[in-house]
Amino acid sequence: MSLAITLLYIVFVLSAIVLVTIILLQEGQGGGFTDALGTAGKQAFGVKARGIQSFTGIVAFIWIASGVGIHLMNREQSGASLLDGTTIENTDPIDTGSGS
């Protein structure tokens, strides 16, 4: 089970790095990071950017799916959840300093 969680963490981090890079490379309304690449960047990510946009969607889906998978596997492994309705008993009461 821990190997699967480790692999999901690796996929999560790598997809996050790729996603940030792709988003920064895409041309927005006023240019953006692609201006730093010169004319080659504008040709690659210009008006016909349909491929890069669909690739961004695929990577975003992988990132979200791996995050949800990590959450579900960690919750299953710990065996407890805040939503289960279980309460944790406080064995050390807080000293209110009443001075008695």
Assess if residue 92 is contained within a domain: no
The domain of 26 spans: 2-79
Contacts within 8 Å (CB) and 24+ apart, 70-77: 70/5, 70/8, 70/9, 70/12, 73/1, 73/4, 73/5, 73/8, 74/5, 77/1, 77/2, 77/5
What tens digit of pLDDT does each residue of 47-83 get?
A: 556 788 889 999 999 999 999 999 998 887 776 656 6
Assess if residue 42 is contained within a domain: yes
Assess if residue 99 is contained within a domain: no
pTM (2 d.p.): 0.59
Assess if residue 39 is contained within a domain: yes
* Domains contained in the chain, number: 1
Confidence at residue 10, expressed as pLDDT on a 0 to 100 scale: 95
Assess if residue 58 is contained within a domain: yes
Assess if residue 33 is contained within a domain: yes
What tens digit of pLDDT does each residue of 6-62 get?
A: 999 999 999 999 999 998 887 665 555 656 665 555 555 555 567 888 899 999 999
